[in-house]
Amino acid sequence: MNKLIFLGHATFEIVMEDGTRLVVDPFLTSNPQATVGPDHFHDRLDYMLLTHGHFDHVEDAWSLLEKTGATLISSVEICNYAGTVLGHEPTHGMSIGGSHDFPFGRVKMTVAPHGGRLDAEGGEGYTCTPGGFLLHLGETRLYIAGDTALTLDMQLLENQVDIAVLPIGDNFTMGPEDAARAAEMIKPRTVIPCHYNSWPVIEQDPEHFRGLVEPRSDVLVMAPGEAHEFQ
């Protein structure tokens, strides 16, 4: 079985059956929810996926790339930053709407209306288009929405997703009501809420969210450190 592990806020670890290890939006050092630090990945990290450049998604990205030599998969702009300013390789730049087959599975970048600043030293001029990821991993289609508003583009994902990871914190992203409407459009089997309760401004009750979504889709509320197995 493959594993999806929630590390708090919007950070996820994915471990494939063959041992391939990925991280999405590594924010651990200052993450009030995190139960592990960046050293969690020091023994092995194969791929890093970044949805966008905000601090609460990239805080540990640059040091982890250097430490682990992982392949960075993100927008062309963020990959250019990592290559040009940090001298990091390998990187694989993508743009919204594009897909690519990697050894671990297929990655498509999806639309995410949000802010494009890159929070990184020397990152000025690398303003990026924020995105999300639709991943085909094994038999499972996993949608990681990223920081996003509710958008009609999500209708294009109808019946394309098995597990949807949606932000519910409000203020910076969709709140519970909009995330529930997103789930209604996408019709995934399972919805995992994220990007809430890290700070007072994004406090939400995930059980309220569950009430808005179930029984159309199952809501899986993950505690930081918790793993969910998928095929």
210 binds, among Ni ion, Mn ion, none (CB under 5 to 8 A by kind): none
Residue 60 in the binding site for Ni ion (CB under 5 A): no
Beta carbon nearer to Ni ion, 77 or 147 = 147
Name the nearest CA neighbour of 50 among 14, 71, 74, 77. 74
**Residue-wise burial string across 118-128, b where 16 or more C-beta atoms lie within 10 A, e elsewhere:** bebeebeebeb
Contact assessment for residue 7 and residue 198, using Cβ atoms and an 8 Å cutoff: no
Binder of Ni ion out of 40, 54, 88, 136 (CB under 5 A):
54
Beta carbon nearer to Mn ion, 21 or 54 = 54
Contact assessment for residue 193 and residue 168, using Cβ atoms and an 8 Å cutoff: yes
- Spatial neighbors of 79 by CB under 8 A, at least 6 apart, are 72, 73, 91, 92, 93
Report the distance separating Cα 78 and Cα 195, nearest Å. Answer: 21
* Binding stretches for Mn ion (CB under 5 A): 56, 147
- Give the binding-site size for Ni ion (rule: CB under 5 A): 2
Closest distance to Ni ion from the beta carbon of 140 (Å): 25
For residue 123, what is the DSSP state? -
Beta carbon nearer to Ni ion, 3 or 117 = 117
Residue 13 in the binding site for Ni ion (CB under 5 A): no
Residue 147 in the binding site for Ni ion (CB under 5 A): yes
Beta carbon nearer to Mn ion, 114 or 210 = 114
Give the binding range for Ni ion (CB under 5 A) out of 3-11, 79-87, 90-98, 143-151.
143-151
Contact assessment for residue 143 and residue 164, using Cβ atoms and an 8 Å cutoff: yes
Beta carbon nearer to Mn ion, 53 or 105 = 53
Can you give the binding site for Ni ion, defined by CB under 5 A? 54, 147
